[in-house]
Amino acid sequence: MSDNGKKNRVIDEVTKNEYKYGFVTDIESEQAPKGLNEDIIRYISKKKNEPEWLLDFRLKAYRHWLTLKEPDWALLHHPPIDYQDIIYYSAPKPKKELESLDEVDPELLETFNKLGISLEEQKRLAGVAVDAVIDSVSVKTTFQESLAKHDIIFCSISDAIKNHPDLVKKYLGKVVPYTDNYFAALNSAVFSDGSFCYIPKGVRCPVELSTYFRINAANTGQFERTLLIADEGGYVSYLEGCTAPMRDENQLHAAIVEIIALDDAEVKYSTVQNWYPGDKEGRGGIYNFVTKRGLCKGKNSKISWTQVETGSAITWKYPSCILKGDNSVGEFYSVAVTNNHQQADTGTKMIHIGKNTKSTIISKGISAGKSNNSYRGLVKVSKNAHNARNFSQCDSLLLGDKCGAHTFPYIESGNDTAILEHEATTSKISEEQLFYCQQRGIDKEKAIGLIVNGYAKQVLNKLPMEFAVEAQKLLAITLEGSVG
């Protein structure tokens, strides 16, 4: 069965389940009034039947948030966000359903076709009512059986709070405390849902975990909270997001992802982010303020972030690693594309604390149109981090002359044994390269896709195979029409 086929079946399952449990009709009317105050937070917590300690956590976060100011150090410009004009709790409900694909924005459909997305999935993504095509073979069930066999926990964070409170209590907010930053405080106060994953000692997760497979993955986009724990010797590869353009009514997104890797554990976290970037004039689009951090707590542990960022009007995101365990390894591989009026300020922090810790940063920025693309990264070596190593490579590629690329590398080294290398390049797609491709019969759009994918190859190679293929197409599509 093809990958798409698998996905479709899973999606069918998901759709079926939603209807089966009457999920939709039960909760539809439940929505908090606009704005944020302690009552709203109590309301959210109550709706979710949360234990007292979690309500406390939310309230503390909220009270702390009140003392903070929105950060303004990133190279991003947007009109002020009115935090009292946002609905912070709205029970998952389906988007307005359309009758058929004929009602969908033709441009969106064209993109779907270019990505090779099947008709059924197109309907789902565009919000068209999907016929309940029920397939007797359930990939999802097989999938969950396979996880259960290894005692792997993979569920929504709401379920984890109910069913595995000790684990959640032990780790929630330990890597990204609510005091961390403005958006982390906000998320901690109001997070709606997200994923939870626990890999037990010595278990290699036999499949790539994808949010595709989680029942209530839909509608958690706005204040998503993810917690991933790999116990001693555990391994997991986790995929977040999807390549199809994602639309959302909510403009502000503030997610948190926390990863903990204990002794000898390894976590590979891959993201393809393609939230709605706004139209060609820069109207609309998602503001994406994300705090992602991994803690290499144990010795010989490893956390690897790979991200392909093509969507959102604003991206503010610095997936980081705290290398606490001796011999631990942190990696960050990133491709960030901005076109039209998009703005991205993204990068990483590698905090070396343990001995013999190693980190690698490969960042590939691609700017087109009137967009701005910044790499911002910190490599910090603390006093006792003997023999720390970092290699950073930050490249920028410009298409056209109205866009901007910026690099802000920060280095703080408190230990003389550290070896830190930094390389940075800025280049343009040359007319000569384009002509060379065209002379071989490859049209301009395809040529740009080819050149850009070549440029980003080092990062794309880090993605799981099928994700990488989709990401390649996505890069080309994102940049369509960017060179005259």
Partner 1 sequence: MLLNIRDLHVSINGKEIIKGLDFSVNRGEVHAIMGPNGTGKSTLAAAITGKEGYEITKGRIIYKDEVINGWEPDKRANEGIFLSFQYPVEIPGVSMTNFMRTAVNAKREYKGLPPMPAGEFLRLMEEKKRVVEIHSKLTNRSVNEGFSGGEKKKNEIFQMAMLEPELSILDETDSGLDIDALKVVAKGVNTLRSPNNAFIVITHYQRLLDYIEPDFVHVMFNGKIVKSGGKGLALELEERGYDWIKEQFED
By CB under 8 A, name the binding residues for partner 1.
430-433, 435-444, 446, 450-451, 453-458
Nearest distance from residue 440's CB to partner 1, in Å?
A: 4
Contact between 199 and 259 under an 8 Å Cβ cutoff? The reply is no
Q: How far is Cα 310 from Cα 158, in angstroms, rounded to an integer?
A: 29
Nearest distance from residue 239's CB to partner 1, in Å?
A: 23
- Which residue lies nearer to partner 1 by CB, 6 or 457? 457
- Which residue lies nearer to partner 1 by CB, 67 or 439? 439
Nearest distance from residue 391's CB to partner 1, in Å?
A: 18
Nearest distance from residue 56's CB to partner 1, in Å?
A: 51
- Which residue lies nearer to partner 1 by CB, 17 or 430? 430
C-alpha of 173 from chain center:
18
Residue type, 431: E
Backbone dihedral angles phi then psi of residue 271, each to the nearest 5 degrees: -125, 135
Nearest distance from residue 444's CB to partner 1, in Å?
A: 7
Query: How many CB atoms neighbour CB 466 within 10 A?
Result: 14
- Which residue lies nearer to partner 1 by CB, 246 or 450? 450
Q: Per the structure block, which two tokens stand in for 99?
A: 């009758």
Q: How far is Cα 3 from Cα 11, in angstroms, rounded to an integer?
A: 12
Nearest distance from residue 381's CB to partner 1, in Å?
A: 31
Nearest distance from residue 456's CB to partner 1, in Å?
A: 7
- List all residues 6 or more positions away from 258 whose beta carbon is below 8 Å from its beta carbon: 171, 172, 173, 174, 175, 176, 226, 227, 228, 293, 294, 295
Q: Per the structure block, which two tokens stand in for 414?
A: 């408190």
Q: How far is Cα 456 from Cα 401, in angstroms, rounded to an integer?
A: 20
Nearest distance from residue 313's CB to partner 1, in Å?
A: 28
- Which residue lies nearer to partner 1 by CB, 96 or 440? 440
C-alpha of 36 from chain center:
25
Q: How far is Cα 391 from Cα 362, in angstroms, rounded to an integer?
A: 8
Element (H, E) at 40: helix 38-47
Pairing of strands 153-156, 195-199: antiparallel
- ∠ CA 448-394-229 to the nearest 5 degrees? 105
Element (H, E) at 336: strand 329-338
- Which residue lies nearer to partner 1 by CB, 261 or 456? 456
Residues in the chain: 484
Backbone dihedral angles phi then psi of residue 169, each to the nearest 5 degrees: -60, -40
- Which residue lies nearer to partner 1 by CB, 65 or 455? 455
Query: How many CB atoms neighbour CB 207 within 10 A?
Result: 15
- Which residue lies nearer to partner 1 by CB, 53 or 436? 436
- Which residue lies nearer to partner 1 by CB, 54 or 442? 442
Nearest distance from residue 123's CB to partner 1, in Å?
A: 27
- Which residue lies nearer to partner 1 by CB, 422 or 457? 457
The three-class DSSP label of residue 181 is coil
Nearest distance from residue 274's CB to partner 1, in Å?
A: 22
